[in-house]
Amino acid sequence: MLQAVYVDLDGTLLGPGGHLFKDAEGGFSLLAARAVEACERAGAELVVMTGRRQAQAMEDARLLGQTAYIFEAGACVVLDGEEHWLTAPLLPQPGERGSIHAQIEDAGAATLLLEHYAGRLEYHDPWHRNREVSHLFRGLVDADEATALLAERGHAGLRLLDNGGVHRRSPDLADLPQVRAYHLVPVGASKAAGVAFHVRARGYDPSRCIAVGDSREDLQTAEHVGAFWLVANGLSKDPSIAEALSAYPNARVAEGAHGAGVYEAVVETLARRGG
């Protein structure tokens, strides 16, 4: 019995441009919707895990008929309307500058990264606006190196995470071979932590849960589920992720991209488990 499917949105369940009904080539496809239907028919909870801000994630979950979701790259898990923050020691505070996003900005961490990686990192305009927790960037940097830099400069409670490839870039990034999305978040925030929390809260058997994504950040959820599936476009955008995959014996690459890959993951898992 499959109990839960944790699925990333952009680059995974959603096709190019964030469209539910588009395949990797931009054509019409129902496979993403059929993946959602397969979960519903099997009685498996579908849980969105996304870098999107709460207002977007809440609406996405509602459209998919779900009552739980993980937003801002694992900063918070919403379970049947109740928020569970995974950002300690930073937590939302009252007042105009009380959001975690504002606290990070006031500490100077975002400015540090933008100045240090000038020409390689910029805000992911316009999606970086109106966020509660993470500072959202795009560019091409080594996330581990950036996290080490933050620690050296007095921001040991923060990290930069790689959330996969994106298409949008400004002329300042035109010469980069690829562009990726990065979130500046408290060290405790991760999609993996969000998945682990949800599994415990629901009382699920991790071996009866799967996760599907397209990035290194998504891959880390493999530690808390029976199987992790990387959609094909995740590997094509970042071939180097193949080495990271080898560290997780329960990880595999789907033949399908975007929604087709999610459908493949769900249907194959159900077929192996007999529903």
**Final residue belonging to a domain, choices 186, 206, 225:** 186
| Cα distance between residue 69 and residue 5, in whole Å | 11
- 74 occurs within a structural domain: yes
Provide the pLDDT for residue 163. Answer: 86
pTM: 0.93
- Domain boundary residue among 122, 151, 186? 186
Residue 92 domain flag: no
- What pLDDT, on the 0 to 100 scale, is given for residue 274? 65
| Number of compact structural domains in the chain | 2
Decide if 91 is inside a domain: no
Per-residue pLDDT of the chain (275 residues; tens, 9 = 90+): 999 999 999 999 999 989 999 999 999 999 999 999 999 999 999 999 999 999 999 999 999 999 999 999 999 999 999 999 999 999 999 988 999 999 999 999 999 999 999 999 999 999 999 999 999 999 999 999 999 999 999 999 999 999 888 888 999 999 999 999 999 999 999 999 999 999 999 999 999 999 999 999 999 999 999 999 999 999 998 888 999 999 999 999 999 999 999 999 999 999 987 65
What CATH number does residue 8 fall under?
Answer: 3.40.50.1000
Residues 145 and 205 in one domain: no
Final residue of a domain: which of 186, 207, 230? 186
User: In whole angstroms, how large is the CA radius of gyration of the chain?
Assistant: 18
My answer on whether 79 and 194 are in the same domain is: yes
CA distances to 47, 54, 156 from 80, in Å: 12, 14, 33
- Looking at residue 167, its pLDDT comes to 83
- According to DSSP, the β-strands at 121-123 and 76-79 are unpaired
Range of the domain at 151: 100-186
Secondary structure element (H or E) that encloses residue 144, with its range: helix 143-152
